[in-house]
């Protein structure tokens, strides 16, 4: 991957967003992290205008939020927002599989390749790639089923989920996740969409269960939690 984003940011207006999404999926950008306009404009070699436009789009996608005259920050979902996000994901992905007719052999092949890549990243100990691929599996699934609209929605929801997992110190095992992905593909291959949907439901419940809703790494939330316990 090239490191000189400067030249490309002009030609591809979505480069900034793509990079930020990718970094979030890879766990290289943490929830609560500040994304200064000036900072980004220097990194990408463009003016603040383009950065700002990218941030507006990311805001609409629920990835960043702005605090007036303080800066842009990667979202730090509350426990409630986290639940809603994962619930929405579950609804979408279960619905996607339930309303599915049939998966072609070519689709199965693509998905198997993806899981193989996941396994490789896990074996190599490449944490960033591992995080990215485990999240991207769901986007890949939607893409493979041939619906770009679903894929786009899932990209945003999975990105938010990865941020939630980082914020609430998910203990979800990568191996287990990868295995569950394989199981879903198995069911799809056997033409059993209902079973695939059930497995997806279980998978996403595991994802949520692995969260530790008590340990919030955010400074502010952490403080709130701490003060709540000290008997005020």
- Interface residues with DNA (CB under 7 A) are 10, 13, 35-38, 46-50, 52, 66, 68-72
Q: Which is nearer to DNA, 2 or 11 (CB)?
A: 11
Task: Count CB neighbours of 51 within 10 A.
Answer: 23
For residue 206, state whether it binds a copy of itself (rule: CB under 8 A): no
User: Does 138 interact with a copy of itself (rule: CB under 8 A)?
Assistant: no
Q: What stretch of H or E contains 74?
A: strand 71-74
Q: Is 149 in the site for a copy of itself (CB under 8 A)?
A: yes
| Binding status of residue 78 toward a copy of itself by CB under 8 A | no
Q: Does 92 bind a copy of itself (CB under 8 A)?
A: yes
Q: Does residue 126 interact with a copy of itself by CB under 8 A?
A: no
Residue 85 as a binder of a copy of itself (CB under 8 A): the answer is yes
The backbone region for 28, taken as left when phi is positive above 0, alpha when psi lies in -120 to 50, beta otherwise, is alpha
User: How many residues lie near a copy of itself (CB under 8 A)?
Assistant: 31
| Helices vs strands, H then E, count in the chain | 11, 3
Query: Distance between CA atoms of 104 and 189, rounded to whole angstroms?
Result: 8
91 near a copy of itself, judged by CB under 8 A: yes
The tokens describing 103, both together, are 């998966």
Binding of a copy of itself by 52 (CB under 8 A):
yes
The C-alpha atoms of residue 202 and residue 198 are separated, in whole angstroms, by 6
Two tokens, residue 125: 């100990």
**Contacted entry of DNA, a copy of itself, none for residue 98, CB cut-off 5 to 8 Å set by kind:** a copy of itself
- Alpha-carbon dihedral of residues 212, 214, 219, 223, nearest 10 degrees? -170
Residue 8 binding a copy of itself, by CB under 8 A? no
Structure token pair of residue 106:
């070519």
Point out which residues bind a copy of itself (CB under 8 A): 52-53, 56-62, 81, 84-85, 87-88, 90-96, 98-99, 146-150, 152-153, 201
């Amino acid at each position: 991957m090239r490191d000189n984003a400067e030249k490309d940011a002009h030609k591809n207006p979505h480069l900034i967003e793509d990079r930020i999404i990718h970094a979030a999926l890879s766990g290289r950008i943490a929830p609560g992290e500040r994304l200064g306009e000036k900072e980004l404009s220097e990194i990408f070699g463009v003016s603040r205008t383009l950065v700002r436009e990218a941030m507006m789009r990311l805001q609409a996608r629920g990835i960043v939020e702005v605090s007036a005259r303080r800066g842009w920050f990667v979202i730090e979902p509350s426990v409630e927002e986290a639940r809603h996000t994962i619930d929405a994901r579950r609804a979408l992905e279960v619905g996607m599989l339930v309303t599915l007719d049939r998966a072609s052999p070519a689709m199965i092949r693509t998905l198997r390749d993806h899981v193989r890549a996941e396994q490789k990243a896990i074996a190599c100990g490449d944490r960033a790639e591992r995080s990215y691929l485990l999240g991207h599996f769901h986007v890949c699934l939607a893409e493979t089923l041939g619906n770009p609209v679903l894929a786009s929605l899932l990209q945003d929801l999975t990105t938010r989920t990865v941020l939630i997992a980082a914020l609430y110190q998910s203990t979800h095992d990568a191996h287990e996740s990868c295995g569950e992905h394989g199981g879903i593909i198995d069911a799809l291959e056997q033409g059993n969409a209902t079973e695939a949907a059930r497995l997806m439901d279980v998978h996403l419940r595991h994802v949520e269960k692995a969260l530790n809703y008590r340990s919030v790494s955010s400074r502010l939330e952490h403080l709130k939690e701490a003060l709540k316990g000290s008997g005020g």
